[in-house]
Amino acid sequence: MVDHLANTEINSQRIAAVENCFGASGQPLAMPGRVLLGEGILTKECRKKPKPRIFFLFNDILVYGSIVINKRKYNSQHIIPLEDVTLETLPDTLQMKNRWMIKTSKKSFVVSAASLTERKEWISHLEECIRHLLTKMGRQPSTEHAAPWIPDKATDICMRCTQTKFSTLTRRHHCRKCGFVVCADCSRQRFLMPRLSPKPLRVCNLCYRQLLAEKKKEAEVDRRQLEPIRSAIPGYEPSSGDDSDKSDDDKADQWPGDTEFYTSEVSWSSFHS
């Protein structure tokens, strides 16, 4: 179907219609070989509450955004490369059914479909596109994924100290490493995680200690790898990056372990045929 639709007028018109709905705030989506395979509205589990989002499945990317006027205007466009996506089916909850998680290295989140059949359709088409794309690129499926954020309403107390109770004045925060809902005292630290952001991000105290330990371990591995060089070259010392050359100057407790937050109705537009 992808080969049949690629570079056809109907495919170009469909993609142009999506671009037009996102307007100037969206990125251009048309490119050689890209095919729009399907679209539909899914419920995305957001931090505050579940919200409907429009999703577009292309043969190489997944695009979603907020609905202003259905079929006419969308905003807050997000583009996810499919080679970075891994899917995980989730059990139903009292509030949400037909759920699954879309996991990527930068962001992971949960969506739900209006029916079990709809969920199967989405997952089947996504997995087929991902498999075809990875084969074409000669890559293995991604193994590093960002932790999904636990919804605010999942807990009334800090998930680390289990003492602080959230209120209008006591804000909830999210650790960018584990996704837990934590209080300010349990998340005062920041840590640089280049995979997620070029800036240091808020992390809980437990994750901060773990990240520091990992960094120290990596530094020790680097030091051991340099030992043979030090032995072979008399007087060799690696640069500390603290050059004085003027030219350079110018230039808690954990949440109970038996609690599982993430284990491993809205209209639908069928996939294009």
If one counts the domains in the chain, the total is 2
For residue 78, tell me if it sits in a domain: yes
CA-CA distance, 19 to 34, in Å (whole number)? 13
Are residues 131 and 172 located together in one domain of the fold?
no
Query: What per-residue confidence (pLDDT) applies to 227?
Result: 74
* 247 in a structural domain: no
Question: Tell me, what's the pLDDT at 243?
Answer: 45
Q: Residues 68, 69, 70, CA angle at the centre, nearest 5°? A: 115
Same domain, 129 and 74: yes
Query: What CATH number does residue 123 fall under?
Result: 2.30.29.30
Q: Is the domain of 69 the same as that of 185? A: no
Same domain, residue pair 122 and 14 = yes
Whether 65 and 161 share a structural domain: no
Q: Write down which residue in 209, 224, 239 finishes a domain.
A: 224
**Residue 268 domain-assigned?**
no
Check residue 258 and give left, alpha or beta (phi > 0: left; psi -120 to 50: alpha). alpha
Question: What is the model's pTM?
Answer: 0.75
**Which structural domain, as residue segments, surrounds residue 218?**
149-224
In a domain, 49, yes or no: yes
64 and 164, same domain (yes or no):
no
Q: Is residue 194 in a domain?
A: yes
In the chain, the amino acid numbered 142 is: S
**Residue-by-residue pLDDT tens, the chain, 273 positions:** 576 777 789 999 999 999 999 999 999 999 999 999 999 999 999 988 999 999 999 999 999 999 999 999 999 999 999 999 999 999 998 889 999 999 999 999 999 999 999 999 999 999 999 999 999 999 998 888 999 999 998 899 999 999 999 999 999 999 999 999 999 999 999 999 988 889 999 999 999 999 999 999 988 888 887 777 666 666 555 554 444 444 444 444 444 545 455 654 433 333 443
* Tokens 């680390």 sit on residue: 160
Whether residue 26 is found in the same domain as residue 96: yes
Residue 57 lies in a domain: yes
